[in-house]
Amino acid sequence: MATKKNNFEEELTELQTIVNNLENGDIPLEDALEQFQTGVKLSRNLNKKLTEAEETVAKLIDSDGTEHKLDPNDAAAPEK
């Protein structure tokens, strides 16, 4: 994995490349194991970023700054 902090899209592209490489099976076992480990780390990091983004989106902020969590299962917007 690159030493600089990647954004979500860059990490997702890197993970997709790793998956494609592993699916093709044209790489030595040692390289496959290293790429698999990198892929697991990327997957965990991407999952964490996605969860954080979902939590951010799932908040409603009132005009007074009060935050309310939105229920993703409730299709109706909260009434005031």
Say how far apart CA 69 and CA 67 lie, in whole Å. Answer: 7
pLDDT tens digits for 11-69?
999 999 999 999 998 899 999 999 999 999 999 999 999 998 888 877 777 667 777 77
What is the domain partition of the chain in residue ranges?
Answer: 6-64
What is the full DSSP assignment across 34-53?
HHHHHHHHHHHHHHHHHHHH
pTM over 0.85: no
pLDDT tens digits for 54-74?
888 777 776 677 777 777 676
Top CATH class of 6-64 equals mainly alpha
Distance of CA 20 to the CA centre of its chain: 18
Amino acid at 62: D
Q: With bands split at pLDDT 50, 70 and 90, how would you rate the model's confidence at 3?
A: very low
